[in-house]
Amino acid sequence: MKRRTFLIGAAASAAIAAGAAVPWLFPTLGRRRDDLAIPVATPRRAAVVWFSQTGHTGRVGRLIARRWQSQGLEVVAGDYRAFDATTMPGFDLVVLGSPVNYFEAPGHFRDWIRDLPPLAGVRAAAYVTFGGEGGNTFNAVAGLLEAAADRGALPVDLAVFGNMSTFAPTWSLGNEGRILKYRHLPDAGTWSAVRAFADRTLQRARTGTGIAVSREWNPRDLVRGAVSIAGTKVLTGGHGADAGTCIGCGTCVRGCPVGAIEAATRAVDGSRCVACLGCVNTCPAGAMRMQFLGKPVEGFGEFLRRHSIVIAEPPELGPSPT
């Protein structure tokens, strides 16, 4: 990647860390979301498949699954890293969920969708969760639907759900206020919106109401994905497990979406790492080290504990597993 691209990405990444809540600098134009007639259907088997590092996206997915189960559907739900891709064409209805990472749905999850067996005739919906005031959320969810449509699926609906950001450099650089402003999310309003999305998706599939989605014009697309990832990597250092603190649980190895962490030593292959921060955010011992602009990055779990924050669970799912 050229030096200028690096610098733009680094600036974008530093801006995210600083809060990046400057919507007036990033106007959005030309969103398109039109209804499209598709054959009516009676979905009986549904799949809810997500990518989630710190739990927000998975929680939404489990609630959708529970909602559909209570309406008589047979539902299989889980993180894509443990999902049997070969079973996907056997579902009548699928919903795909992802966090927004670097202004898009992560490339490794979109690649997984694009590598699925043909999904001809499968109704598909998508959602993203995002942090704070969000950034390019519509294009991110549109990207998931595009990937499903590329496999032949028929898009029926989309949704976005906001919560606390998990971009750890933000609070690690001292900008805690921008994160804590959203500490009340997700809340009862979020769960209502998720249930409504599940109901609407099912209804649209049943009535043959598809959706034609095209991305909106958004300047954040100029720095999405690889550009901002490269920028973040320029600004980070010291990424790897601290042998003295590591308890060898393997959470980071299993959770790394690109297989960048060596199983035996927990050494990080920087050339493969996509700076998703999952290993830092989910290490139960605080042993996965990273520096951002020379400052130690504190993981999401520790940040929550330090502020005595417990993420709410919808009543249907019972008490928080953590």
Ligand X SMILES: Cc1cc2nc3c(=O)[nH]c(=O)nc-3n(C[C@H](O)[C@H](O)[C@H](O)COP(=O)(O)O)c2cc1C
Instruction: Scan for tokens 């042993």, then name that residue.
Output: 287
Stretch near ligand SF4 under the rule CB under 6 A, chosen from 85-93, 133-141, 161-169, 256-264: 256-264
Binding map of ligand X across residues 150-189, x = CB under 6 A, - = no contact: -------------x-xxx----------------------
Kindly indicate which of the ranges 99-107, 188-196, 202-210, 261-269 contains the residues binding ligand X, using the contact rule CB under 6 A.
Answer: 99-107
| Cα–Cα distance, 100 to 146 (Å, whole number) | 15
Exactly one of 80, 112, 130, 171 binds ligand X (CB under 6 A); which one?
130
Count of Cβ atoms closer than 10 Å to residue 254 Cβ? 12
Residues 183-242 that bind ligand SF4 (CB under 6 A): 241
Q: Which of 52, 172, 236, 251 binds ligand X (CB under 6 A)?
A: 52
57 versus 204: smaller Cβ distance to ligand X:
57
CB of 241 to ligand SF4, least distance (A): 4
Q: What is the residue type of 64?
A: I
Structure tokens at 117: 């067996």
Q: Which of 56, 62, 66, 239 lies at the binding interface for ligand X (CB under 6 A)?
A: 56
Chain length of the chain = 322
What is the distance between the alpha carbons of residues 303 and 192, in angstroms, rounded to a whole number? 27
Out of ligand SF4, ligand X, none, what residue 127 binds, judged by CB under 5 to 8 A for its kind, is none
Would strands 45-50 and 93-99 be described as parallel, antiparallel, or unpaired? parallel
Quote the crossing angle between the two packed helices 188-207 and 56-70, to the nearest 10°: 50
What six digits make up the tokens of 29?
């134009």
Cα(first)–Cα(last) distance of the chain, in Å? 40
What are the residues binding ligand SF4 (CB under 6 A)? 241, 246-252, 255-256, 258, 260-261, 266, 268, 273-279, 283, 285, 287-288
